[in-house]
Structure 1
Amino acid sequence: MDLLESGYLFYRARQYDIRGREYLRTNGKYFIIDTGLRRNAVGRKDGNYSNRLEDIVYVELLRRGYTVDIGKLNGTEIDFVARKLDETLYIQVAYELPNNTHETDNLLNIKDNNKKIVITSRYYETTQIDGIPIIYIVDWLLSDK
């Protein structure tokens, strides 16, 4: 993996304990720079669309100048903790919104005033749940924020 990282084919995101404000001693998570390479290696298998979407969001956050980590809070995972200067952004990525509020509940458990969003690959009429914006991936990619 070190060779793939040094060749800029994969990026490693470390796990960050949001409550303790420190990095955890785990392997973290790896994201591929080109989803086409992933498809070539794995084949045309259906499913696992959420991981592909996470790869796209991760690379875009890096492109926008954020430092990106995987958040942990009380045993739950926050897909991304993105930081740039004095800005912190918490992001959950979902291929489609589940019938429950799992994605937003994880974000609502973070007790600070930083921005929280859910990015989804499907367009929904619902633009927010409990005050957390639900953003279609295409709209997010085209925005400058």
Structure 2
Amino acid sequence: MEILEEVFLFFQINLFDYSIKRQIYNPSKIYIIDTALGNSISFKFSENIGHIYENLVFLELKRRNKEIYYWKSKKGKEVDFLIKRGLKIDGAIQVSYNLNDKKTLDREIENLLMAKDEFKIKYLTIITEDEDMEKEI
């Protein structure tokens, strides 16, 4: 995997934890530089547009030189991206291709709010294909 990272085919991000040991021993999330390549070499039988969309958001964050992690709460709630600036978590981002289902919207908001409470985050974002709105929570 390191060779693939060195030639910039894949990137991985770690789980955010203040303990470096826990960061190392938890699984990384893998993102690919070329989503078409990823689709052609994967063994998936159906296209997962949500993962592709998340991958595109990751690539944009990487292009902007953000320090990126993912986070999982003790209750197993996951936030797709935490943005770290200096020693502080500066933002949290959830990516969901479609928020038409109220359960999905509620889950994404709940996960962001858990991260907000945990890290005192000021900026929370949900990126989706089919919505264009700002909401104060």
Task: Normalising by structure 2, report the TM-score.
Answer: 0.80
User: Residue 91 of structure 1 contacts residue 116 of structure 1 at CA under 8 Å; is this kept in 2?
Assistant: yes
- How big is the shift at 1:50? 1.0
Q: How well do the aligned residues superpose, as a CA RMSD in angstroms? A: 2.2
- How big is the shift at 1:61? 0.4
**What is residue 77 of structure 2 aligned with on the other side?**
76
Distance 1:89 1:2, change over 3 A: same
**2:129 aligned residue (112, 121, 125):** 121
Give the aligned length.
Answer: 126
Structure 2 segments unaligned to the other structure (5+ residues)? none
**What is residue 107 of structure 1 aligned with on the other side?**
112
Structure with the bigger RCO (C-alpha within 8 Å, sep 6+) is 2
After superposition, give the CA deviation of every residue in 1:22-81 in whole Å (9 maximum; x if it has no partner).
343212110001112112224895431111011111111011110111112222111001
Structure 1 segments unaligned to the other structure (5+ residues)? 133-145
User: Residue 65 of structure 1 contacts residue 84 of structure 1 at CA under 8 Å; is this kept in 2?
Assistant: no
Task: Normalising by structure 1, report the TM-score.
Answer: 0.76
Q: For the residues of structure 2 that align with 1:115 and 1:79, how far apart are their CA atoms?
A: 14
**Identity score, percent:** 29
**What is residue 91 of structure 2 aligned with on the other side?**
89
**Matched position secondary structure for 1:31:** strand
